[in-house]
Amino acid sequence: MSATDTAERRMLDDLATLGDRFTDDEFCTELYRALAGGHLTKDGAAVAPSWTKAEEIVNGLRAERGREPIALAQTGGEGERSDLVADELERLGWRWRPRDTSTHDSAHVSSPESAPPPDTGERGAPISDPHEWERQAHEEAEHARLGHDEPRQAGPGQGAGGGTAPRVGGS
């Protein structure tokens, strides 16, 4: 177990002693903000949770008390520490300072990377055959090579990526 993992475990154990505080949505939001943008130290150990990791920590402690998770990551205020949270962290022996994002922080912990949701990306985009443009270009070149007066062109209904081209002008 790395020093960062040990520090994170110690912090989780200490935070768990706050008990019913995790039934208070306002406290949970304020704690998330402090964890997400903070660098916490205690007895030489240091931890600096990512936004996602901070959300997991808070919601995990809420779940232990039978509370539903709340959306916290990227909701704003990351790196802010309220007086209430400052008092609780200090009482537990943790010192807080804003995380310096201009350099690598070896205490920064995050969740393992996850794949993007299955309904995103190119597979989910409304695109026709991505090589259609190439086939069309070859057909037009062949049409011109055979000596036809005008190059063969696609109708007005297909735009780039297979979408419908916008109408311009007309009545």
Quote the CA–CA distance of 53 and 56 in Å, as a whole number: 5
Q: What is the pLDDT of residue 29?
A: 96
Tell me how far CA of residue 15 lies from CA of 36, 38, 67, in angstroms.
Answer: 15, 15, 16
Could you give phi then psi for residue 53, rounded to 5 degrees? -65, -40
Residues 42, 7 contacting (CB under 8 angstroms): yes
Instruction: For residue 125, give the DSSP letter.
Output: S
Residue by residue, DSSP assigns 65-119 as: TTPPP---TTSS-TT---HHHHHHHHHTT-EEEE--TTS--TTEE-PPP-PPPTT
Classify residue 54 by burial, with Cβ atoms within 10 Å: 0-12, 13-18, 19+. buried
Tell me how far CA of residue 127 lies from CA of 91, 124, 155, in angstroms.
Answer: 57, 8, 17
Least confident of 60-69, 84-93, 131-140: 131-140
Could you give phi then psi for residue 101, rounded to 5 degrees? -85, 0
Residue 127 confidence (pLDDT) above 90: no
Residues 16-71 have pLDDT tens digits of 999 999 999 999 999 999 999 899 999 999 999 989 999 999 999 999 999 999 99
Tell me how far CA of residue 1 lies from CA of 8, 9, 57, 77, 132, in angstroms.
Answer: 11, 10, 18, 31, 53
Nearest to 48 by CA among 110, 107, 94, 113: 107
Residue 88 confidence (pLDDT) above 70: yes
Q: Tokens 């393992």 appear where?
A: 112
Q: What is the pLDDT of residue 5?
A: 82
Total-model pTM: 0.61
> 95 or 113: which carries more pLDDT confidence?
95
- Token duo for residue 13: 């154990």
Residue 115 confidence (pLDDT) above 80: no
Quote the CA–CA distance of 83 and 29 in Å, as a whole number: 13
Q: What is the pLDDT of residue 75?
A: 87
